[in-house]
Structure 1
């Protein structure tokens, strides 16, 4: 259950509390209430975009809209959503925060599910609270998501009853309201009580021109949340949760006609209030000229500037709108490619820079440029990003840039088209939600692909070059500067700032596009032949050994039409680097992967690959080195060429090295300002027993590192492929792929040195230890409790550990959140590894008020002691087994799962067929086994308490 404050202008702009948000929301016409619900058919009137014929859209007599689509990805699952056109913007002064509070109360008592019975019922059915079952509240909408199994008729039918209970039958038990007050306040503490929130309170009234949006943040006001009565929240629910403002969206593996009847049966009886309050559409009024706002905070680590030029919102409803949206995507792509080039300079002019045209709030779009400056370099950073936008405005884009952008855009829509029968149901839900809320057309991917293919080449350079002039203006413009308090005296005044902006582009020249037409490789490697082949019929894999010693595990699937995942590893990693060379070695893979390949720098390489579905990244971890790649059947050869070249011809780029070192130094310079960063650094130091390899690097270590050492270490790690194992999962023919593997993987260098990793013995210290960090000006504390020790790694123990993690999650949610009302979202993370030595750790974490730290730690230990004394409750075991069984069923149909699983079992020397027994083995979890597991792994002899407290006053 989250708050969604949607500002899609930039990633760093003014996010108060980012959480599970859907992207910008849009809409399309719906049938008249007088019409009988019928399948949507393409009705083109003028250039109005048609409706996707595969979605049924209807409206009940009471005004409730519904969208239904049959979709079999994933099998035996459905996504059910309730969308309400009611958010915080509709609250009265006395109701501020109650739209979001209403969302919380939907899980705390309805007509058919008193108290928390709804969550219990769904957990027993395999639906995980928070991860699957969730909701969010924003300014203009509140959305509930309910993924349910369809292979259980009873659970599936109950899903619609649950949506109906949310839509019209919340009970608002005063006792439950009082219990939930603390939870909502703790959500605000978790997501807020930080520098970004405090800065937002200063800047949002300016950005939103003191409109209603600026005074109706979804979290509301603390005093109201503490004191409102049941009648006030019931009034909000009565006025705004009503059928004519609601939509039910159902997408999944089901019979459409049956679902339509279930919607009618469950929602037709809902009634609109009489009289109905008009649903006012609020806007943000334009601001003449430019408004400048400076905001500082003691805990903000960066200096950033943002220029926002606001425009009236444009919703895509027609072919003309759609063409404009394509142009905007091309414009954003090309402009940010230029900014990426600037960031690859040896002396990057900023830490981060982005510019784009996107939706804002209150019927607005905006062209926004945001830049994060290096310490003391605000003028340079701001002038650089303004100059980049001015360069586009004055000189436009080149033909080669535009053609590349078109290829990238076509590639993206082609990917979606190729996967049209393998698209996840949640993707369709988002489209229909946008359609209901704001009116964006939903023509469907077949229409969109045809539209792109037919029209994108009609877009000219001249059309693109006219866009910057339309987007960039000194009217309805806001310029924001956010900085640390200590930089306040160094900031320019408004006049100086405006002079920087107004003169930044005075001397810009036309952009020069550095491209190459040379191929990646001139010839195919000689390679080596397959010398052995074994098949595992149980899981459908084939294991090949090539003449150079490389092993390849193949798993062809039909889960995706256009996806092949390639991963390769061998043992060694940075564990083989000396202490003196560690920093260089640790930087090696990130530097090389950003430096291009062979004779091509990264900019040239990116341009060469803009029309290809291929991502290849080398990596070096503590105990392994390897390659991770994602591609398609069409671009498999390109992926293999890149893999081959990273082994045989990596590129050394002094500019990339220098730029990366400079950027890292700039970030380190202000890291100590942020309480969260200081706490994380303490955690890293403590849990590694102060081993510098596991801690954040220092400026001294960066100074001592060298590109030559990093490059040599990378080459040494990839000099011998004989120890490498590759897994290839996805849509390919094993016979057709063999010659490709023989050429490229079989051609990798091989010296048969038979290396492995070193166990450096980096792990948490034994015994009991408490570390308390005092940092931060707000009443906000974070707690981590870490149990750790030696472990016997095997499937039986792993299952018990997974069960313990989930049972403890359930109990701590019940105790710390529901009973104590002291936290929003406690978490438990159990991890276990076999290499470099078999170890486990169980981490319990939560955020709370400083005064409650000791009480909540005591409550946590009390729940742990109950588990050790009595074992888990049978109902909680049932919940875990149901969730694990259903998630396993889904994972077994996902390429990404198999890619990870096959790699992990290979590294750990496990029997890969064990996954087929996983669900059956869940019956090994009993009350007694959870008692024994808790006693063994939560024994307290190795317990580290890590606590972040606000600074003492």
Structure 2
């Protein structure tokens, strides 16, 4: 039951790069209550109501608490401890101690000395890192603990953990000294082009304020050399009840929980003369700034124009209304930039404009773009041109109405799911209320206020908000680019001249092209359902349609209005030659970006605005298919899209040319990126020059054939008879059947009997060691991998998962806690059944150059211990309870069931296996894990890949 996650490519831009959509904005406003405001009582200066369902209190010592009963998920509670203490409160000699203190709260507490805390919680099924976690920022330190609430002892101890975190860290010298190396590895891991450039532009971005000198990670000198007394004094000075709050949301007894909080936290020490917590901010300089920053490992040139404004907090109905208008502006300007990106030869790789909060008491209009090589001027002008077009002509009435409808839809959708809302969302809302006095609206209030406010918004008001933020003072221009391009990057006078040129251009108004055509040129000829079979154990039905399509239906009540769809058919790119591989593997992506039926991509996006529908085709190595989601209202559109992707796909020339052009441009400087070079060397060592596994070259990308891509796509979707659809979610069989008969049973049937081919691509039989030297930073990246043939079965898979789990525990304890050599590490296993049983088992970590060899030896030593003796019973028990606790949550998720049912049919396995999983889990033993370790972790199958910095010339 493993899922592969795709890698994401991130530009070196702050979060303001992305435009905010309605669902993101609405969902972050949080909470639950019963205040319904009538429209005639809604006043702009009225303070937003606080969620009346949450129990809020403040103890005499100043400690605050928020408690809410919420049963999503069942038998779980999420606790956060918020501490208004971050790196901004540090003195010069304390730089990094707020973050160091966060680490120390996991390394010795009054009731959990040394590493007992992590050990105890792992025994309860709580995962370190993904469940049990914390973070430190400029202004605050936050500790989070989601735990089961159906175990009274665990619940009691969970609260004790929060109490110990609040004031009872032991801070022993021994543990402090052990943690220095771990934090150094965390610091080392963050080093690279991004960090080096950040150090240069932050003083400009933050207007020379203290924030630029107080990055939470701290400095190496302080971390490695501070006197332990210094951190104890910092802890005593700042970890105090008047700066702290606990937030508890979950399946609990609110009254009993409040009594426990009062009992545990009332005795916290206060100070007679507490240190003043100074409020810091970033001052506005009322001038413009300009900076060019380069780095030899920066792969692309990025331009940012940041116009700073005083922060506009949201506390009244009027403030909230203004925030809605900012989000509308972001959506509409973002949509225009996306259209430009889809032109045949777009002027930039990516571009964004948005109004958002910065920090330190500032908001900003962020204008960002990633330039194509040698085309900085074009990228800048194209992005700014859209702002100028907006300045001169504003938005169209159709853009405004369409976006407003999308916000209304998002508000309705969020309200429908109010009783299914996860506890985490509430916790985060109350945390922000404590930290920043941010609004914490109830579900009812948020829905009613938003519903009443949206119709009051006018196009002119939204335009006025955008124009207000687009100013010529307090403007920073920051350019980041490759070192080798430094001489060609523009200076301030040139950029100013370009900006002025755009302002003087004779622009035309934006034309909002909306098609009146229906998605499909003709309606399908209805088919029928031939047979129905019950899979009673998992409340699922298997239907066979008149054209041979198999459909698995699982109605659920996990969400009120969510329907997930997945479809597959055997074949995929394996049926095409190596020469056509890249054309075939990119075909579905080009079709997916090209619109559908009678609508091009821009028209389709506008058509789908306000509909909660998404359907996308895919073409993988061994199958082709679709994935999608919808609500009940959008089901007809979803099935129309499915029908269209089979019968009326399109691959538009502008989308194809744009995709190829942007891909080629993004590849221009990749050889300067150490991570790219490392990945390239690894894939070539494992697969030589096999085009199906290695990273494509520019020439290979240029060889992708547009006409053939559409032909291949149509070939793969020409025959629906061997497709299997899985549909899970909030529907009834009667509701879904008409769509199955009309849109699925009508799909073409050629009666093909296809199977994916075995391409014979496997890793070498014997392991090797390969060292790659690339990069400036003195750090090492290690990947150790085992590959080989695999006896695929339920039992083998479960024991391989157990091996992954127990080794991850041991590697973290050995390499991090005992040897202080890494910040993070772990094992990951994957296996495949087809075309033949194969497995991979990976161990990875980053460390210092002088430690990587000894840590690799330690990792191998832990592997050998499991092979010789099996895992400890304690570690095995931790794996078992974690799996049990995770399954409790997964069984109530539509996505989990979609993956289980679809995966079982694709692998020709028992779809009811999940019901036997716990029984099978209890059969995992020390001996069975030991056997799997010896079977697959053979020393001669170990591949070692190490990334080291370039050797310095003497």
Give the drift of 1:273.
2.3
Shift of 1:522: 5.5
Counterpart of 2:739 in structure 1 is 740
What's 2:101 paired with?
102
Which of the numbers 456, 465, 489 marks the counterpart of 2:454?
Answer: 456
Partner residue in 2 for 1:389: 387
Partner of 2:567: 568
Asked whether the 8 Å contact 2:326–2:466 carries over to 1, the reply is: no
Alpha-carbon distance change, 735 to 789 in structure 1, aligned in 2, over 3 angstroms = same
C-alpha deviation, 1:158, in angstroms: 1.1
Q: 2:639, 2:529 → 1: CA distance?
A: 17
Alpha-carbon shift at residue 392 of structure 1 (Å): 1.2
Residues 470-549 of structure 1: matches in 2 within 5 Å? 470-507=468-505, 508-521=507-520, 524-549=523-548
Distance 1:25 1:400 in 2: 22
Does residue 840 (structure 1) correspond to residue 839 (structure 2)? The answer is yes
2:3 is aligned to none
Distance 1:26 1:688 in 2: 45
Moved more, 258-267 or 639-648: 258-267
- 1:859–1:596 Cα change, 3 Å: same
1:887 matched to 2:886: yes
Corresponding residue of 2:83? 84
The answer as to whether partners of 1:123 and 1:129 remain within 8 angstroms in 2 is yes
1:913 corresponds in structure 2 to: 912
1:255 maps to which of 238, 249, 253: 253
Supply the RMSD in Å over aligned alpha carbons. Answer: 2.0
Match of 1:336 in 2: 334
Q: What is the CA deviation profile of residues 870-896 of structure 1, one whole-angstrom value per residue up to 9, with x for unaligned ones? A: 110111011101100000111011001
More displaced 10-residue stretch of structure 1: 755-764 or 612-621: 755-764
Residue correspondence of structure 1 range 357-368 to structure 2 within 5 A? 357-368=355-366
Output one character per residue of 1:171-220: Cα deviation in whole Å (capped at 9) or x when no partner. Answer: 10111111111111111112x21001000000000000110111100001
- Deviations 1:418-473 (CA, angstroms, capped at 9, x unpaired): 11000111111111111111111112222121122222122111112212221011
Contact kept in structure 1, 2:197 and 2:293, CA below 8 Å = yes
How far apart are the structure 1 equivalents of 2:513 and 2:545? 39
Q: Structure 2 vs 1, CA of residues 163 and 11 (structure 1 numbering), >3 Å: closer, same or farther?
A: farther
1:231 is displaced (CA, Å) by 1.1
Q: Is the alpha carbon distance of 1:170 and 1:26 closer, same or farther for their aligned partners in structure 2, counting shifts above 3 Å?
A: farther
Question: What's the TM-score once normalised by structure 2's chain length?
Answer: 0.95
Please tell me whether the aligned partners of residues 42 and 53 of structure 1 are also in contact (alpha carbons under 8 angstroms). no
The residue number in structure 2 matching 1:929 is 928
Residue in structure 2 matched with residue 295 of structure 1 by the alignment: 293
Aligned 1:55-204 pairs, distance under 5 A: 55-190=54-189, 192-204=190-202
Aligned partner of residue 773 in structure 1, secondary structure: strand
Partner of 1:239: 237
Distance 1:404 1:778, change over 3 A: same
Q: Any idea what SS the aligned residue of 1:505 has? A: helix
Q: Is the 8 A contact 2:148 2:154 kept in 1?
A: yes
Deviation at 1:667, TM superposition (A): 1.2
Q: Deviations over 1:401-422 (max 9, x none)?
A: 1111111212222221111000
Indicate if the aligned counterparts of 1:62 and 1:244 stay in contact, CA closer than 8 A.
yes
- Worse overlay, 685-694 or 859-868: 685-694
Equivalent residue of 1:66, what SS? Answer: strand
* Structure 2, unpaired ranges of 5+: 1-9, 19-23
CA distance in 1, matches of 2:28, 2:683: 47
Counterparts of 2:343 and 2:594 in 1: how far apart (Å)?
Answer: 11
Determine the C-alpha separation between the residues in 2 that align with 1:833 and 1:781: 30
Query: Structure 1, unaligned stretches of length 5 or more?
Result: 1-9, 31-38
Listed one character per residue, the Cα deviations across residues 139-197 of structure 1 (whole Å, up to 9, x for unaligned) are: 0011111001011111011111100000010010111111111111111112x210010
Q: Which residue of 2 aligns with 1:826?
A: 825
Q: Distance in 2 between matches of 1:694 and 1:445?
A: 48
Aligned length: 931
- What corresponds to 1:878 in structure 2? 877
1:690 Cα deviation from its structure 2 partner: 3.4
8 A Cα contact 1:588 1:710, kept in partner: yes
CA distance in structure 2 between the partners assigned to 1:917 and 1:347 by the alignment: 54
Q: Are residue 643 (structure 1) and residue 642 (structure 2) matched?
A: yes
1:381-417 Cα distance to aligned partner (Å, 9 max, x none): 0111111111112211111111111112122222211
Runs of 4+ in 1 over 4 A off after TM superposition: 23-30, 39-46
CA deviations on 1:336-359 (whole Å, 9 max, x unpaired) are: 000100100000110110110111
Provide the secondary structure at the position in 2 that maps to 1:518: coil
Distance 1:170 1:770 in 2: 43
After superposition, residues 782-801 of structure 1 pair within 5 angstroms as 782-801=781-800
Please give the alpha-carbon distance, in whole angstroms, between the structure 2 residues aligned to 1:25 and 1:223.
Answer: 44
Aligned to 1:275: 273
User: 1:580 aligns to what SS in structure 2?
Assistant: helix
The match for 2:13 is 13
- Structure 2 Cα separation of the partners of residues 29 and 550 of structure 1: 42
Quickly say closer, same or farther: Cα 1:186–1:14, change in 2 above 3 A.
Answer: same
Structure 1 residue 734: deviation in Å?
1.1
Distance 2:518 2:234 in 1: 63
Query: TM-score scaled by structure 1?
Result: 0.96
The match for 1:615 is: 614
| Structure 2 CA distance for aligned equivalents of residues 676 and 287 of structure 1 | 39
Asked if the contact 2:183/2:823 (under 8 Å) is kept, the reply is yes
Of stretches 357-366 and 513-522 in structure 1, the one that deviates more from structure 2 is 513-522
| 3-state DSSP of counterpart to 1:235 | helix
TM-superposition CA deviations, 1:760-792 (whole Å, max 9, x none) = 122221102112111001112111111111111
**Counterparts in 2 of 1:430-449, with a 5 A limit?**
430-449=428-447
Work out the CA distance in 1 between the residues paired with 2:210 and 2:35: 39
For the Cα contact (< 8 Å) 2:30–2:429, is it kept in 1?
Answer: no
- The equivalent of 2:378 in structure 1 is 380
- Alignment match, 2:689: 690
Q: Match of 1:758? A: 757
Following the alignment from structure 2 to structure 1, what is the Cα–Cα distance between the partners of residues 602 and 588?
Answer: 18
Change (3 A) 1:585 1:42: closer
- Following superposition, the deviation at residue 652 of structure 1 comes to 2.1
Measure, in 1, the Cα distance between the counterparts of 2:439 and 2:684: 52
Q: Which residue of 2 aligns with 1:35?
A: none
Distance 2:504 2:555 in 1: 57
Q: Is the 8 A contact 1:305 1:480 kept in 2?
A: yes
Equivalent-residue separation in structure 2 for 1:286 and 1:661 (angstroms): 42
CA contact (8 A) 1:73 1:252 kept: yes
2:464 corresponds to which residue?
466
Partner of 2:5: none
Alpha-carbon offset, residue 540 of structure 1: 0.7
For residue 14 of structure 1, report the CA deviation from its aligned partner.
Answer: 4.6
Paired position in structure 1 for 2:625: 626
Aligned residue in 2 for 1:264: 262
Task: Decide whether the 8 Å contact of 1:359 with 1:365 is kept in 2.
Answer: yes
> 1:696 offset after TM fit, Å?
1.4
Shift of 1:29: 15
Cα gap change, 1:630 to 1:24, in 2 (>3 Å): closer
